[in-house]
């Protein structure tokens, strides 16, 4: 089983092509800049654009009936987000997810119809797009399987290792800059489950809590708790 990963990875052929054709003017891209906490789009919006991120981190999440939220993905620079515009007009529905800037974000809004026409005319790029979308589906499937098999403590440990890697902190002490509430949203569990997991990891001398962040103090011990979820970490 692979480690938990909420971060969508760029596909070089796709991202390089988009950056080139936007720079050339072949594909029109409207520049967007967001501050942390700004929304790229919200649930219920009628989306006609696909967004290509050139800088920063965007959290894609859903609201739950009990007032919590569940992170679906984090999108990094070089990735695409928002595909409602690819549906035929008669089948088009509002967005069911929210996209919110975690850091300062720069992006291009690409008209979905024009982007679709470009993909139809360029088979290799269209295939890279299909691979990109399939990999996002695979991430969701993998997390669903993880949630059904592994206990929260094990999944939480794997999540911390994944976040440390994404924030380029491969050695202790490594700061994971999220609160218990935010970490609960990522795993889709109640915050009490994360609080209990943090206590267990502190007792195992793996982590320490700082204001608004966790500090990994021992990667080896944390990996031993995550077990099979970190085969390649």
Q: What is the pTM of this model?
A: 0.82
For 130-164, the pLDDT digits (tens) are 999 999 898 888 888 878 888 899 999 988 988 88
- Spatial neighbors of 134 by CB under 8 A, at least 6 apart, are none
For the chain, what are the domain ranges? 7-147, 150-230
Give yes or no for residue 168 having a pLDDT over 90. no
User: By the 8 A CB rule, do 178 and 163 touch?
Assistant: yes
| Residues recorded for the chain | 233
Q: Rounded CA gap, 69 and 75, in Å? A: 17
Give the model's pLDDT for residue 230.
59
pLDDT at 91 over 80: no
| Span 150-230 CATH architecture | Orthogonal Bundle (1.10)
Q: Are 157 and 222 in contact (CB under 8 A)?
A: yes
Where do the H-state alpha helices sit in 150-218? 152-166, 180-187, 191-203
Residue 3 banded pLDDT, cuts 50, 70, 90 = low
| CA dist list (Å): 93 to 49, 63, 131, 151 | 13, 17, 24, 36
pLDDT exceeding 70 applies to what percent of the chain? 95
- Give dist(CA 58, CA 79) in Å, integer: 10
pLDDT at 2: 53
Diameter over CA atoms, the chain: 58
Give the pair of three-digit tokens for residue 109.
Answer: 């809004």
CATH superfamily, domain at 7-147:
Jelly Rolls (2.60.120.10)
Rounded CA-CA distance 5/9 in Å is 10
Which structure tokens are listed for 209? 């809590």
């Amino acid at each position: 089983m692979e480690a938990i990963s909420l971060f969508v990875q760029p596909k070089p052929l796709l991202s390089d092509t988009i950056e080139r054709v936007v720079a050339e003017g072949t594909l029109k891209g409207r520049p967007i800049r967001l501050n942390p906490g700004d929304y790229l789009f919200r649930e219920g919006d009628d989306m006609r654009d696909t967004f290509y991120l050139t800088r920063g981190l965007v959290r894609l999440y859903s609201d739950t009936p009990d007032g919590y939220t569940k992170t679906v993905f984090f999108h990094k620079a070089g990735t695409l987000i928002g595909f409602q515009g690819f549906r035929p007009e008669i089948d088009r529905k509002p967005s069911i997810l929210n996209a919110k800037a975690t850091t300062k974000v720069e992006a291009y809004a690409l008209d979905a119809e024009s982007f679709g026409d470009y993909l139809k005319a360029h088979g290799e790029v269209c295939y890279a797009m299909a691979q990109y979308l399939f990999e996002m589906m695979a991430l969701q499937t993998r997390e669903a399987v993880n949630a059904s098999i592994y206990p929260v403590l094990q999944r939480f440990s794997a999540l911390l290792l994944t976040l440390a890697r994404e924030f380029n902190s491969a050695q202790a002490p490594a700061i994971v800059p999220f609160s218990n509430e935010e970490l609960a949203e990522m795993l889709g569990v109640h915050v009490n489950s994360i609080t209990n997991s943090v206590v267990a990891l502190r007792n195992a001398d793996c982590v320490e809590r700082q204001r608004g962040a966790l500090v990994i103090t021992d990667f080896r011990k944390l990996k031993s708790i995550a077990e099979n979820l970190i085969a390649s970490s």
